[in-house]
Structures are given as structure tokens and as C-alpha cells.
Amino acid sequence: MPLYATLVATLGVSIYARTAFDMFEVWMNHPGVYWMTLAFYSETADYVNRSPDSTPLDFNMDVYVPWRRTNLQRPIEREDVAVRWTINDAFVFPEHPDGLRVAFQIHAPPSPVLQETFFDDPDKPLHVGPRVDPTGQHILRVYGISRARLDAHLERAQDGPVFLPYTGTPVDSSVTAGDWLEFLGYEILNPEGRPGEGLHVITYWRVIRPPPALAVFLHLLDRDGNLVAQFDGFDVVFDDLAPGDVVAQLHTLGLPPDLPDDEYRLQIGGYRREDLERLPLSVDAADNLLWLRTWRPMSGSGEGP
């Protein structure tokens, strides 16, 4: 029986690995898919080159592979337009007084939560590409996000209380992670979240210098410190981040359907993907963690430690 179980498990892993390889390597590099995608990137580059607007452009995609970035970057001729790449759950705002433009393919749009948070009107894009898919839908969409809108979110995020873990001591100073990122704050988008739904939290970070590949984790803990829900990610392409960029990272915490009506704690930290080592914080925080506000399902959110 153990041998049979081992063989079944090995077969399952093999099938999964083969499926993943086919999905992310064979299929995505198939000539038909490759050239269709190239045409889409060419359309995006043509828009950037022709538009008189020099506002930075965030190209948001569902899955990142290096050739996607290369094949968009190559045809862009504008040196006055800062281009960044993100993956579904994040936007990057380079320093610019006018804000940001976000471009994406309608078949792989950014998170609906990010769209609702930052787009003024989903029905009014800045630009719609001329190319259509077999169903007649225009593939390319470009939306604008004003700097004033980002600043309003940053102002709310900076009001979110931060504490040293375990002691509950308020943190009033700036917090940096390594010498790469400055933590600008956070906001809970749906504090009225209910069990069985997603609790949506955006954290904001300013780039001090381009970081290595890393992830930020957000934990929801019960009053005994047990993990209830978590989200790990930093959904940006690190190669092109520059000092001054602001990253808005969406964390969606899946709430268990049987979550008791009690008080819960948000806890945040980060780690390097290469070796899973925690990012050192500039404050004397145990375990390189920070406590954020408390939260209670269906009955409002807490503030204290």
C-alpha cells in the first residue's frame, strides 16, 4: 500500500509539473500565441509613441515572463515615458505630477478591486485599441489615475495605526525594510467584510533603491496569535523599479466561512524570495514584524494594540 501511494503521488506531481510546463512554456511560446501577443504589445507601444502624453505607463498583466517585457519595451521609442510592469494585484506609480496610465489586455485585466479603487469610471478609458479579438472585442484598454487620487489614498493609508509586535507600542517614526523600501501605510478597503468573503487591504511602499525579488506578507491572527488568513506577494517586475516609485500592493485575505465574531489582528512583514530571509526593519521590532490595526467581522474595526 505505501508503494502504491508513493507511485500515485509521484504520478500526480509529474502530471502537475508537465501541465505547468505546457501552460507557461510550451503554450505561451507557441508561434501563434507568441505573435498574437507580440501584436498586442506592438499596439500598446504604438499608443505610447503616438500619444502626446508623457505620463508614466504601468503595463499590467496576468502572468509575467521575461519576453513579454522585452517585446513591449523594444518598440517603445519614447524616452520621456517611464514604463513599469505589474502583475494583476499591484500598480506602480513613478514620480510624476499627473499620475499614471494603466494599460492591459481585457482578457487579463488587473484585479477588479484595484480597478474599483483607482479608476474613476471603468466605462471611460483614456484609450481603446483598434485591434479586436474573434468575438469583436477591442483588446487594449488604457486608463488614467490622477496623482490627486493616489495622494488621497496615501493620506488615508498614513492614518492607519502601526504598533511594535507583542508590546503594542505605537510606531510614530518612518519604517524602512532593508535599504530598499519605505512603508507608507495601509488601508482596509472593506472593513465590513464578512466570513466567507475576502478582506481587501492595500499596503503602500516607496522605493528607496531597486530591491531584490521579495514578498510582503500580511497575516490575520486571532487573539491567541493563530493564523486565520494570509496573503504573500509583491506583484511587480523588479528590474525597472526606480527610487521614488510608489507601489500599491493589494492583499486579499480569504476569510473562513465559519470565522467567529471576534477581534483579529493584522500583522505585516517581508522576506527575500531567494532565501526566505526576513527583511530587516528600521525600528526595533521583534521578528521583523509590525502589528497593524485590529479588525472585527461585521461589527467595525479596532484601533488599539
Q: Are residues 160 and 287 in the same domain?
A: yes
Helices of type H across the chain: 2-21, 31-50, 66-73, 112-118, 147-158
DSSP 124-154: --SEE-S-B-TTS-B-EEEEEE-HHHHHHHH
Name the band, by pLDDT with cuts 50, 70 and 90, for residue 73: confident
- Domain boundaries, position 198: 152-295
Residue 300 placed within a domain: no
Domain contains 9: no
Identify the CATH number of the domain in which residue 195 sits: 2.60.40.770
List the helix and strand counts (H, then E) for the chain.
5, 14
Question: Longest C-alpha distance within the chain, in Å?
Answer: 69
Task: Using the 3D structure, point to which of 93, 114, 145 is the last residue of a domain.
Answer: 145
The mean-pLDDT minimum among 10-24, 200-214, 229-243, 271-285 falls in 10-24
State CA 262 to chain mean position distance: 28
Number of separate domains in the chain: 2
Do residues 268 and 219 share a domain? yes
Q: Which residues contact 195 (CB under 8 A, 6 or more apart)?
A: 255, 256, 257, 258, 259, 297
Residue 20 in domain: no
Distances (CA, A) of 131 to 37, 41, 74, 288, 304: 12, 11, 20, 49, 53
Q: How far is CA 147 from CA 57, 119, 202, 208, in A?
A: 13, 12, 17, 20
Last residue of a domain, one of 102, 125, 145: 145
Considering the domain architecture, whether residues 156 and 228 belong to the same structural domain is answered as yes
Residue 165 DSSP code = T
301, pLDDT greater than 60: no
More confident residue, 74 or 149: 149
Which tens digits make up the pLDDT trace of 2-35?
A: 665 555 455 555 555 455 454 444 444 444 444 4
178 in a domain, yes or no? Answer: yes
Give a yes or no: residue 16 inside a domain. Answer: no
Kindly state whether residues 276 and 162 are assigned to the same domain: yes
Over 90: is that where the pLDDT of 77 sits? yes
Backbone φ and ψ for 41, nearest 5 degrees, come out as -65, -35
Q: Report the distance separating Cα 76 and Cα 262, nearest Å.
A: 52
Of 106, 130, 145, the last residue of a domain is 145
pLDDT in tens, 132-157: 888 888 989 999 999 999 999 999 99
